[in-house]
Structure 1
Amino acid sequence: MSTEPQSIPTEDRTLDAGALKALAHPLRVRIYNLLGERGPQTASTLAALIGETSGATSYHLRALASHDLIHEVVGRGTGRERWWELHRGSVNVPGPDETSTPAARAASQVVMSEFFRLRNDSLLDYLNRSTADQPEEWRDLGLVLTSRLDMTPEQMAEVRDQLKAVLDGAVERFRDQEGKPGTRRVSMRTEIFDLADGPDRHLTIEEES
């Protein structure tokens, strides 16, 4: 779907109040998420994926672009058919407790709730996918792993940093492979968090699919 990768700088970013409020709309979070999952899209292709009019998706794309949340793909498309993509680099969405105003707090709650709803939906779609719907070379590659054990804050921080290093390294190595033969978009996730008042001790549950 894409042309050869452009030389686009990578920039890590924490959303300011304006960008956070611009993103705080369920349809815009969904559009943002689809650009991450499927790569560059137009208002028309997004409309087909979402079930909205291209006028609606075009409006929301412009709103996202006005706060530099997305940008137009250089050298692709026409004046009538513009292609949009995410910026490179990580984006940090401040949590409700990190915001300074009630409006920003409400915006953060909308963005976080919708993002994790979509994240959960995509995981369930993967888990419920029939083996027959997957190319043979892609079968049995996914891993959904849950382990519960007791850790100190220092140990948890150490494991967190190790997991982040693995993902950061993969992003750096495979960043420019979009559109290459034999590739498809892959979702990489890590989850580690403390279970307040949880009863489980040294219990490990592993699910692989």
Structure 2
Amino acid sequence: MTENDEGRTLDAGALKALAHPLRVRIYDLLSERGPQTASTLAAIIGETSGATSYHLRALAAKDLIREVPDRGTARERWWERPKGRINLPGPDDTMSPANRAAAQIVTSEFFRLRHQTLMDYLNRPTADQPEEWRDAGLVMTTMLDLTPEQMLEVRQELSDLVDAVVERYRGQESQPGTRRVSLRAEIFDLPAAGSRGVPNQE
């Protein structure tokens, strides 16, 4: 996957490779937690390592993920999601029925996982959250009256802000005191991976 400002728009082949709920979950976990093996993913998801290994190979075949160089063994391979933005084409009438179905599966599953992550955060007991993180999150909804042109301007401003924030904090995943956070229209910390037996790696 190339890293550029526009990101990678998934083509039909990549969409079909990703069009399985378990593969979307694996892809999401690699984004959230960094490099994993088939065994660590199996432990998180509750599947066999044979199943996760099969899906990892399917994702790798379309360059959605890649093997981590100089890490692991022939029996224990580490996989990562290359850094960079991806664009999910929504289903539209110009697609073939098969491609449209694949786009629907991928989009629905990504947003289902996104909503679940937010609900997990909102329902997380205070005792499960370190004190320094308890007031750091923000979930905000604002109603505006805009023209289409104004909405495009706001969208660009938000995109520019996110790009600037990503660039400002790039490469500090190994710094003490950092935790993976999810930045959307909301911003909140994700549960520490180590609390569920999985190393927090990027």
Q: Would you say same fold, with TM above 0.5?
A: yes
Residue 178 of structure 1: how far off its partner (Å): 2.0
Task: From the superposition, tell whether residues 9 and 104 of structure 1 become closer, same or farther in structure 2 (CA, over 3 Å).
Answer: closer
Task: From the superposition, tell whether residues 150 and 75 of structure 1 become closer, same or farther in structure 2 (CA, over 3 Å).
Answer: same
Aligned to 1:146: 141
Residue 88 of structure 1: how far off its partner (Å): 1.3
Normalized against structure 2, the TM-score is what?
0.87
In the alignment, the residues of structure 2 paired with residue 186 and residue 172 of structure 1 have an alpha-carbon distance, to the nearest angstrom, of 15
Would the aligned equivalents of 1:72 and 1:82 in 2 still touch at CA under 8 Å? yes
2:167 to 172, 180, 192: 172
Aligned to 1:181: 176
How many residues are aligned here?
185
DSSP 3-state at the match of 1:146: coil
Task: From the superposition, tell whether residues 103 and 119 of structure 1 become closer, same or farther in structure 2 (CA, over 3 Å).
Answer: same
| Aligned: 1:10 with 2:3 | yes
In the alignment, the residues of structure 2 paired with residue 167 and residue 160 of structure 1 have an alpha-carbon distance, to the nearest angstrom, of 11
Gaps of 5+ in 1: 1-7, 192-207
Q: Aligned letter for 1:95?
A: G
Q: Aligned letter for 2:57?
A: R
Residue 122 of structure 1: how far off its partner (Å): 0.3
1:71 to 66, 71, 93: 66
Residue 149 of structure 1: how far off its partner (Å): 2.0
Give me the CA root mean square deviation.
1.7
| Aligned: 1:48 with 2:43 | yes
| Aligned: 1:110 with 2:105 | yes
Hey, which bits of structure 1, 4+ residues long, moved more than 2 A?
8-11
Would the aligned equivalents of 1:163 and 1:190 in 2 still touch at CA under 8 Å? no
| Aligned: 1:31 with 2:26 | yes
Task: From the superposition, tell whether residues 85 and 45 of structure 1 become closer, same or farther in structure 2 (CA, over 3 Å).
Answer: same
Gaps of 5+ in 2: 189-202
Normalized against structure 1, the TM-score is what?
0.84
Q: Identity across aligned pairs (percent)?
A: 71
